Structure 1
Amino acid sequence: MMEFVHVAVAVLGLLSLGHSAPVTSCENLLQPREIYGSQLLGKWMLLAESTSIPGSKMLLQMLMENTWVKITAASEADTFHSLQIQKMMGKCFTWKKNMTLVNNTLTVVGDYRVSGVLLNTGCPDCLVIYLNMTMGRIKVRALQLLSTRVRVSAAELEEFTKQAECLNLQPPAIMDLEEGLCPDPTLAPETNFTDRTTDTISSEELSLLEELLSSESGVKTFLDMIRRSMASFKQD
C-alpha cells in the first residue's frame, strides 16, 4: 500500500515555488507574476496547500508533517534542481527533480507532468504558485504557499485562502512546522533518508487512483487505504 502513499504525495506534495504587492480582488489575486530565476533559489517552507481534489485537506494533514524545498541553479540556462525534503510519520523522504523555466512557466516532466506559474501575493518573502498536474487521465489543480519563514501572519494566510477560493479549490491545509523539519541530507549524512526519486507507478495503480479520485466517496476509500497503509508502515 505504500505505493498509494507515494502517489498521494506526488499528487498533493507537488513542487512549489513572489515579490510584494497589495492584492485584494480575485482579479489582482490571480494575476500572474513574472518569474526571475534568481528569486526561486534557496530554501522554501511549504506552509499551506489547496487542491481541486475533494478531501485533499485531510489527505495532506494525514500524509505530511512538514515539507521544505531547496532550489539551486543548474548549469543549463533556465533550468533548476529541486530537492524536496518531507517528514512523514516521523521519517524523512527526499525527491529530486529538474525544472525548466520557459515563457514564464515552470515545468517538471517525469511519470507525471507539472507546470506552474507564480501568482500575486502581498507577502514579501513568499511564493504562491498555481500548479496544473497531469498523471494519466488524472488532472489536478493546486495552489501552494511557500516562505523563507516557518510561519506567516494571519493576514497572509487569509489572502492565500482567498486565492484558493477564487480558483474554486478546496479549503487549504495549513502545515504545522513546530515538529521540526528534516535536515538537509547533504549536511546531515547520519540522518536516515528514503529517496523516492526513482519510484514509479504501474498502470494498474494509476487506473485505481483515477477511479478513487473521481468522486468524494472514492477519496474517502482512498483515505481508508492510506490509514491502513500508514498503520502497517509504522509497525515495520
Structure 2
Amino acid sequence: MWRAMMNFIHVAVAVLSLLSIGQSAPVSSCESLIKPIEINGTEKLLGKWTYIAESTTIPASKLLTKMIVDSARVKMTAAEESDAINVFHSQKMFGRCFTLTTKMTLENSTLSIVQPFNSSEVLLTTGCPDCRAAYIKLGIGGRTYSGLQLLSRRNKVTAAELEEFTKQVECLNLPAPAILDPEKGFCPDESHSQETEVVDLTNIMNDLGSEVFSHLDRIINSEGGMQALFKMISNGLAGLKEN
C-alpha cells in the first residue's frame, strides 16, 4: 500500500509544489516577465538541470514537498527523433533515489509529455543566463493544473535571480514558490549507488491507468482527503524508520 501511495506522491511533487497565494505584480513589469520565448531546436535544452523552485495550483503540494522531497534533478538527452528529448528525472526522498524516464516532444516552441501523464510547457523570458523558467500545464484525472518551475545548470542561483522568478510567479497569479534546498544533497544521475537505494518508477507509472490518476485527483481535492493522505505518508515514514 505504501509503495502505491509513493507512486501517487511522485506524480504530485516531482513536477509541482504549492505555497500560499501571492499578490499580483504591476502589469507593466509582468508584460516582459511572462513573455514566452521561441525554442529553435532541442540542443540548448540538453544536459543536466537542477530544480531550484516551483509553484503550482495543486492543493497542499507544498506541504508534501516539505515532508518528503529533498532535491530533484533532470538530465535531458537527444532522442532518435529530431523533435524529441529523453528526460531522466531523479528525486531524493527518504534517503532513497526515485527515478522516472519520460520523452518530451517539441512543436511550436511547446514541450509536451504524453506518458505517464499529459503535460505541456513553454519557456518564459529570464535574466538568469543558465536557467529555464518553465510554465507548466499538467493533467491529473479530469483537471488541469498550472505551475512555474525554475531550473538551473547550477545547484543554487543568486538572490536576484530567485527574486525575478518570484515576480514571474506573482504575475501569473500562482502561489508563492517553494524553494528546494541544495544542501540536502542529490541523487545519483543514472547509476545505482552502493550507498543509496534507487527505485525506478518508470514501468510502474506507465502501467497506471487513468482511473488511478482520477483517484489521486479526487483525494487531493476532497474535503479531508489531504489529511488522510498526510496520515498515510506519516505512517509510511514511521514504517521506513523501523526498517
TM category (shorter chain) comes to 0.7 to 0.9
Matched, 1:32 2:36: yes
3-state SS of 1:181 partner: coil
Alignment correspondent of 1:232: 239
Alignment correspondent of 2:5: 4
CA offsets 1:16-48 (integer angstroms, 9 cap, x no match):
xxxxxxxx8111111101123111111100011
Alignment correspondent of 2:213: 206
Q: Of the candidates 66, 69, 80, which is equivalent to residue 85 of structure 2?
A: 80
Q: Residue 85 of structure 1: CA displacement?
A: 1.0
Matched, 1:153 2:158: yes
TM-score, length of structure 1 as denominator length = 0.87
Q: Residue 137 of structure 1: CA displacement?
A: 1.1
Q: Of the candidates 221, 224, 227, which is equivalent to residue 228 of structure 2?
A: 221
Contact 2:59 2:221 in 1 (8 A): no
Identity of aligned residues (%): 44
Quote the Cα distance in structure 1 between the aligned partners of 2:222 and 2:29.
31
My pick for the range that moved more, 26-35 or 203-212, is 203-212
CA offsets 1:66-117 (integer angstroms, 9 cap, x no match):
0110000012111111111111011111111111001111011113101111
Alignment correspondent of 2:21: none
**How big is the alpha-carbon RMSD for the aligned residues of Structure 1 and Structure 2?**
2.1
Quote the Cα distance in structure 2 between the aligned partners of 1:204 and 1:99.
23
Quote the Cα distance in structure 2 between the aligned partners of 1:230 and 1:3.
14
Matched, 1:173 2:178: yes
Contact 1:133 1:139 in 2 (8 A): yes
Q: Residue 217 of structure 1: CA displacement?
A: 4.7
Quote the Cα distance in structure 1 between the aligned partners of 2:173 and 2:222.
16
Quote the Cα distance in structure 2 between the aligned partners of 1:55 and 1:228.
18
Q: Residue 2 of structure 1: CA displacement?
A: 2.9
Matched, 1:108 2:113: yes
Structure 2 regions of 5+ residues with no counterpart? Answer: 17-27
Q: Residue 53 of structure 1: CA displacement?
A: 1.8
Contact 2:141 2:211 in 1 (8 A): no
Structure 1 regions of 5+ residues with no counterpart? Answer: 16-23
3-state SS of 2:182 partner: coil
CA offsets 1:143-200 (integer angstroms, 9 cap, x no match):
11000111111111111112112222222110011122112224x5645311100114
* Distance verdict in 2 for CA 1:132–1:122, change over 3 Å: same
Alignment correspondent of 1:55: 60
Question: Which structure shows the higher helix fraction?
Answer: 2
Contact 1:12 1:56 in 2 (8 A): yes
TM-score, length of structure 2 as denominator length = 0.85
3-state SS of 1:31 partner: coil
Quote the Cα distance in structure 2 between the aligned partners of 1:205 and 1:184.
28
Alignment correspondent of 1:89: 94
3-state SS of 1:129 partner: strand
Alignment correspondent of 2:146: 141
